[in-house]
A and B are shown apart, each in its own frame.
Chain A
Amino acid sequence: MSLSFPFDLVWPTSGYVVLYLVTLLMHALFMSYVLGGALAVAFVRLHGVRENGPVTRTFIDWLPFALSAAITAGVAPLLFVQILYQREFYTANLLSFHRWMSILPVLIGAFYLLYLLKARPHARRLSAAVASAVALSILFVAWSWIENHMLSLNPSVWAKQYESGALAYRDPAVFLRLAFWVALALPTAFWLLVLQLRFGASGAKPEEALFATRRLAPVALGFLLVAAALAPFVLRGTWSLSSVDEALLDGADRPYLVLAAVGVVLTLGGWLRAQHLPRLSGLCVALGSLGLALTWWGVLCARELIRLARLDLDTLTRRHAELATSSGLFVFLVFAVLALAVTAWIFRRVSCALRQPVG
């Protein structure tokens, strides 16, 4: 069983795919927080639960930042996807035209609604309406990305899609895929939230945080299992691959599905421990977080292997080799190290300063 993808691809394709996957993983984490958080807040508000406990409060407080981070983190894979799969990505964008472009005003709207929600968290009717509008907007954006991805993988339908003038790509697999991403986003969002609650980022008291962990655990576990059940349909089988693709793929994605499954088991372990511990132990944090990271990495690698099986790898690698003659990699690496250092410095400086009384 080999888990060497994407390092086993030829250089420079492997380098571009690594950067794409690492930055997409960052995007996926923030995106999950936004998707899961928006759905959770909308659910709570719509059910009239007078919950203004730590879960809703923290989500409402952090969602604007998370959306900003999801977008900022999304820009990097947006760059790398254009390097890796320029023709496919551009064509899918062009085919969906206004529908695709409409994610931008929707995102701006969602942003301001999130600030409104934060400014008026207690207005019950208003916050139910606003939270639902945000959740729908985010779902719409997720749906659009999925549709774009599916369309980019199907060159055989491009001409027909263009001729028909249809702005939506109708493929039942799109909805199954949306269900899968939602099912994975929710436990991811909840785990990130539990880390926030338990490490005090939200100002929740320890007993409140523990209580919230216990309430979230069964929901998170349930959705993890739903995601695991959907994965074979979304990442394998006729929903995403033709028999030709499957032959080309030749089971290369299987180790990554196994890796994702191991991740799910570890995450389950993390949740089970977290709901019993008054204080989160390092082991518990590691279990849940490593589990999630493995799950996402496995899923993203399997997703990429399918794409590479569908497209002509030789043409792609030749193109990437041509692109790699462009200089600037060294400058990027130097600034990447600097940016990491500055990121760490900001965290340290702010947390140290917050611990000291302002003089």
Chain B
Amino acid sequence: MNDPASFPVNDFGPLMKGLVIGGLGIFHVFLAQFAIGGGMLMAYFQWLAMHGREPKARLVLDSYFRWLVLVSFVTGAITGVAMWFTSIQISPATIGVMVSEFHWVWATEWLFFWVEVLAGYAFYRYGKRLDDRTRLALLVTYSIAGWGSLFWINGILSWQLTPGEWVATHDLWAGFFNATFWPSLVYRTIACGVIAGLVMAVIVNTMGELEREDRRRLVHHSARFMLPVVVMPLVGAWFLGAFPEDSRAWVTGASVAMTLFLNLTIGASALIGGYVVLGLWKQRLFINGATATLLLALAFGATAGGEFVREGARKPYTIREVLYSNSIRSDDVARLRVEGCTSGDPYPLRDAAQYPSEQLVKGALTFRNQCAICHTMSGVNALEHLMGAWTLDQQRMNVAKLQWTKGFMPPFAGTPEELEALVQLVRWESAGRPAAWETSEDPAVLAQIRRWLEEAGTGPASAGGGR
């Protein structure tokens, strides 16, 4: 296992790193779900065409597939690689553990990805020249492969939140088929279908060769495909029920932002579901391009909210019970309290000359290794804003008892000297970076910090020590 400080840490300026990976993740998940659902929907349309149930099915199918390739194959595949690269940039330790534990699962997922791309391109290139049975065979292969890659990746992502028995046994399959595996898989599968159906409603409105009645019929077929959306509330409840207790508490009130996002997701999904079931399916309403695009945008919003909640609910971990958000292993906290989190860091500060004292340099290194994953100094979620108004002792105590200050934060994993250096850095930044800054090394202060650290212990807030 690599030591957390053994990787260089990049500065994302005023942006929170979580926002970067979250933003990209949402985009990628949306496109990937479109690719998977799109394949299934096309297989359904091919079946409709073959059984004479929809005269325009073949025409729409070829047009839809072009979009699927142009948008999803291209941007979806590259954002997939981008997810990997960004994960390395944000937290090499986290992606490192994931790859180390699940490399065969990932390699298996790649096989599915390979088949998906091959079947998809074969259809894209030759589809119009193929007989119906071959077309259907390719579309079904594409869909199974696409859904298969979701199956594999879903196991790894849900393991991050609910690794369950794996923590004790390191049994890969216990980790893979974890408590949130099935609800998450069902939830995402339904989402794939809904996104694909809504894209269909947009695309039929761009096709000049279709009459209004054709469009209404085609959208009605898609609405039928989207019907599983009615069970979304149940699946959502099942998913939430499988969350660890503290994570569930975040999203149901303890964290305003996460609760808000969860409610937005529920609201947006309910609106989409209601419109699909009552309007498009039951009443066979016509839907124009603008409304269809709006619904699709709403689906994007629901995906964004859902992903935000899923990512946020893991806090203070990136891999529950194993690795904290700041890449420090839960087992290492006690050791780092003695050895320090900066002593093993081989990478010097780029801007060391800006700091008027060695203590502030140490503070900056401590910030980089422990806080910078979620905070900036003066940008988004800035320490200056969060801690600036506290008294000096309050700053020291709240950092020493970090996990009790806010339960989504990990315990502080450094020496009292590093903690004091960090506090001094925040004060220096809040004071407008003066040219001179006195070093604070009062043994009584350090002893007090040590006592606070000991009181807080080395476990997370969910361990319950603060109560």
Contacts and interface: CB of A to CB of B under 8 A. Distances in A.
Contact of B138 (A91, A327, A335, A346): A346
Nearest to A19: B107
Contact of A91 (B8, B130, B349): B8
B172 A328 contact: yes
Contacts of A87: 2, 6-7
Contacts of B104: 326-329, 331-332
Interface in B385-429: none
A316 interface: no
Which of the listed residues A82, A343, A356, A359 has the most CB atoms from chain B within 10 Å of its own CB? A82
B49 to A, nearest CB: 13
Contact of B348 (A86, A94, A162, A325): A162
A158 interface: yes
Contacts of A165: 350
Contacts of B129: 353-354, 358
A350 interface: yes
A163 to B, nearest CB: 5
Contacts of A339: 111-112, 114-115
Contacts of A342: 115, 119, 141, 145
B99 A79 contact: yes
A326 B172 contact: yes
Given A158-B8, A354-B130, A328 B105 contact: yes
Contact of B103 (A83, A104, A158): A83
Contacts of B9: 94
A47 interface: no
B86 A83 contact: no
B439 interface: no
Contact of A78 (B81, B92, B346): B81
Interface stretch (B71-79, B265-273, B276-284, B288-296): B71-79
A331 B89 CA distance: 30
Interface string B167-192: 00011110000000000000000000
A68 B103 contact: no
A68 B73 contact: yes
A219 interface: no
A91 B7 contact: yes
Contact of A68 (B8, B77, B101, B130): B77
Interface in B69-104: 70, 73-75, 77-82, 84-86, 88-89, 92, 95-96, 99-104
B113 A72 contact: yes
A326 B96 contact: no
Nearest to B6: A87
Contacts of B75: 108
Question: Chain A binding site: helix, strand, loop or mixed by DSSP?
Answer: helix
A349 interface: yes
Interface in A331-359: 331-332, 335-336, 338-339, 342-343, 346, 349-350, 353-354, 356, 358-359
A323 interface: yes
B134 interface: yes
B348 A68 contact: no
A121 to B, nearest CB: 16
A162 B350 contact: yes
B80 to A, nearest CB: 8
B238 interface: no
A195 interface: no
A183 interface: no
A94 B347 CA distance: 12
Given A104-B85, A327-B172, A76 B107 contact: yes
Contact of B114 (A72, A93, A100, A328): A72
Interface in B271-329: none
A140 interface: no
Contacts of A104: 78-79, 81-82, 85
Nearest to B99: A82
Contacts of B346: 158-159
Which of the listed residues A74, A90, A95 has the most CB atoms from chain B within 10 Å of its own CB? A90
A68 to B, nearest CB: 6
B9 to A, nearest CB: 8
Contact of B77 (A72, A350, A353): A72
A136 to B, nearest CB: 18
B354 interface: no
Contacts of A356: 131
Contact of A332 (B79, B108, B113): B108
Contacts of A323: 100, 103
Which of the listed residues B9, B95, B107, B113 has the most CB atoms from chain A within 10 Å of its own CB? B107
Contact of A350 (B79, B105, B113, B122): B122
A67 to B, nearest CB: 9
Given A94-B10, A111-B78, A326 B101 contact: yes
A12 to B, nearest CB: 11
Contact of B134 (A79, A80, A353): A353
Nearest to A349: B134
Given A72-B117, A94-B10, A342-B115, A79 B106 contact: yes
A329 B350 CA distance: 43
Contacts of B82: 101, 104
Given A86-B99, A328-B103, A332-B104, A346 B92 contact: no
A100 B122 CA distance: 32
A150 interface: no
A336 B107 CA distance: 9
A69 interface: yes
Contacts of A335: 108, 111-112
10 contacts: A80-B107, A82-B99, A91-B7, A95-B8, A97-B89, A115-B70, A163-B349, A328-B104, A335-B112, A358-B129
* Nearest 6 interchain pairs by C-beta: A328-B104, A339-B111, A353-B134, A90-B92, A332-B104, A327-B172
Given A104-B78, A354-B130, 13 more contacts: A86-B2, A86-B96, A90-B92, A111-B78, A115-B70, A163-B349, A327-B104, A327-B171, A328-B104, A331-B105, A335-B111, A349-B137, A356-B131
